[in-house]
Structure 1
Amino acid sequence: MTDSGLIADTAALKSWRRLAVITICAVYFLILVGASVRASGAGMGCPDWPTCFGSWIPPTSEAQLPANYQEIYADRGYAETRFNPVKTWTEYVNRLVGVTIGLLILTTALKSLGLRQHDRWISIASVAALLMVIYQGWLGSRVVASNLQPGMITLHMLMALAIVGVLLFALARSRRGIMAGKSIAGLNSHFQPLLYAVIIMTILQITMGTQVREMVDYLNHTEGAERSAWVSALPWVFYVHRSFSAVVLIANAWLVWMLFRSLGLQHSLTRLAIGLLVVVGLAVLSGATLGHLGMPALVQPTHLLSASLIFGLQFLLWMDYRHAKQA
């Protein structure tokens, strides 16, 4: 079958698709764990990389470290290093999850090679995701070396989203045969421009959220800045970001309504859009909690995860729509 043709839903394709879904869910779990590390201030729980306090398995108490360990790390540029078992093991678990996901993506890439005769783009995207994960591992070492410089942390996060995007692209390609059987003949002609508008809104919203996140990091490392005072210290972009969330929510609700009226509740695009709307609602709710309750640390990972899920679901919705339209 040529690359331009639709892929038959073979057993090999179904097996690869299941693995891809597991891998994508695992990457999102890593985003949640990474956000928890960042919110709890455990990012430097391991001041070296790839080891942690010089060992592959970190210590459980300060007594297991050399008496002069603070001087050792001060000479390396980490003057404020102080062993904290909770933060150390939080960061260590984050690294273990990252390694596990690396192995999952390696397996996904190897398994995709058997599909290259059906659709070479599945294999290309899967291998690209593997190369990006290798780069992400190196980037993680640079984050530690930079002593959690905000710009490096943001780049690390954006790279994780890029990996999700590439994996979702491969997953959507594997669903072309499924979407070919989903007619969109009755879809409202305004759906496509609205979908593009919603995606642009999301990109703007995530961009503003990234700026707010970096300012929060700055306040977190500013001596004397308490969480309850963070909101009042944030710049104007925070208030635009907060208000614009209502526009994003309404736009996504309109998208769902358009799909429901045109295609019905049983259509894959409608159900995917409903899931998207639920996640947008979670993002708005968690954002409002952060803004009105003094930036509670437990809510920050939820807000970041929901924003990441919005990006992924919108991308998948766009890809599925394109494949259904081309069928």
Structure 2
Amino acid sequence: MTINRLIKLTLVFTLAVILMGAYTRLSDAGLGCPDWPGCYGQLTVPTEVNDITKAQQQFPERQLEQDKAWLEMIHRYIAATLGVMVLAILIMSLRQPQAPKKLPIFISLLIIFQAALGMWTVTMKLMPIIVMLHLLGGFSLFSLLLLLYLRNKPLRIPGGDSYARQLAPLAAISLVVLIIQIILGGWTSSNYAALACTSLPICEGNWVDNLQWAKAFSPFQGDHPSYEFGVLDYAARMTIHVSHRLWAIVTAVVLLLLAFKLILSQSTTMRKSGYLLTLLVIVQVALGISNVVMHLPLGIAVSHNGGAALLLLTVVFINYAIVRKA
């Protein structure tokens, strides 16, 4: 297998880990296994009567729910497979003289940090700042793998599209705006604030007078036995949700502006990227609205996470394509 084929497969696995992580989190299965890396002291979920009894004796504070435990362990199995694939990419990169070296090393360090964040997510009982960093680590890994793929298969814009290159500042701003929106989405999810507002377009009631910015965005929320299901009051969660919604409007406007300008480009690559970006923004907005109207159905909520990952990948590609020398 060539290194680029392995990177493409690893990209697919990374998306699977992101989606499975979202499914696990949204299914309230983040503490399905109260220890790490095993589950109730085993490498698999306890299923035998004796094993279940022993597990409950070791962790009397948690009731073993096998469906949630299996979700968590499947997520860990896929993540472990991803780690092995990243290691294989590193080895292949170091062996091939022309392959980039620094980027695969950084990606390998990142996935080690991701594993640590996965452990802390459990040991710190779903502390929101750790959960959010774990989510961002997955998105960062996804983006860096794409960059590594592009570095191994150099992209050239046919004819050296000078018009597209003038869009570099807007593309960079779009990336920053999107990253902020992803951070807000992660903070909303990790604080169980997705249903803090259930009406459109912003929130029900006199929400303006109930905003609590400092409390809503404090990374430390006190010492609690567990952060499962959130520890913030309604006003703080509502503030988080409103922030995510308002910034979503800014994000959609900026990304659609970039997409429109890309569609006017003479480069086929840029035009296709513009059309794809437009489609992804429309789908992502529709998924966000559906989450509110339908009260966060699991399939749509997971798709919203996947849509954010694909949007980020598209904007990263656009930035790379614009600044790459022809």
Please report the TM-score for the alignment, with normalisation by the length of structure 2. Answer: 0.80
- SS of 2:37's partner is coil
The answer to whether the 8 Å contact 1:242/1:288 transfers is no
Q: Deviations over 1:8-43 (max 9, x none)?
A: xxxx9xx32222121112111100000000000111
Q: Does 1:187 align with 2:163?
A: yes
- SS of 1:135's partner is helix
Aligned counterpart, 1:82: 63
Aligned residues: 293
Aligned counterpart, 1:109: 90
Is 211-220 or 106-115 further displaced after alignment?
211-220
Is 253-262 or 102-111 further displaced after alignment?
253-262
Q: Does 1:241 align with 2:244?
A: yes
The answer to whether the 8 Å contact 2:165/2:322 transfers is no
Aligned counterpart, 2:212: none
How far residue 217 of structure 1 moved from its aligned partner, in angstroms, is: 6.1
Whole-Å separation in 2 of the counterparts to 1:22 and 1:273: 25
> What one-letter code is carried by the residue in structure 1 that aligns with 2:117?
L
Q: Does 1:157 align with 2:158?
A: no
Q: Does 1:16 align with 2:3?
A: yes
Q: Does 1:53 align with 2:40?
A: yes
Aligned counterpart, 1:211: 187
Q: Percent identity?
A: 23
The answer to whether the 8 Å contact 1:186/1:262 transfers is no
Aligned counterpart, 1:291: 292
Please report the TM-score for the alignment, with normalisation by the length of structure 1. Answer: 0.80
Aligned counterpart, 1:221: 229
Relative to structure 1, the CA distance from residue 94 to residue 118 in structure 2 (aligned partners, 3 Å threshold; closer, same or farther) is same
- SS of 1:288's partner is helix
The answer to whether the 8 Å contact 1:150/1:217 transfers is no
- SS of 1:48's partner is coil
Q: Does 1:42 align with 2:42?
A: no
Q: Deviations over 1:270-300 (max 9, x none)?
A: 2233323322222211111112222223322
Is 162-171 or 64-73 further displaced after alignment?
64-73
Whole-Å separation in 2 of the counterparts to 1:68 and 1:100: 29
Aligned counterpart, 1:169: 147
Q: Can you give the 5+ residue segments of structure 1 that lack an aligned partner in the other structure?
A: 1-11
Q: Can you give the 5+ residue segments of structure 2 that lack an aligned partner in the other structure?
A: 197-227
Whole-Å separation in 2 of the counterparts to 1:73 and 1:206: 35
Higher helix share: 1
Is 270-279 or 104-113 further displaced after alignment?
270-279
The answer to whether the 8 Å contact 2:36/2:122 transfers is yes
Q: Does 1:256 align with 2:259?
A: yes
The answer to whether the 8 Å contact 1:276/1:310 transfers is yes
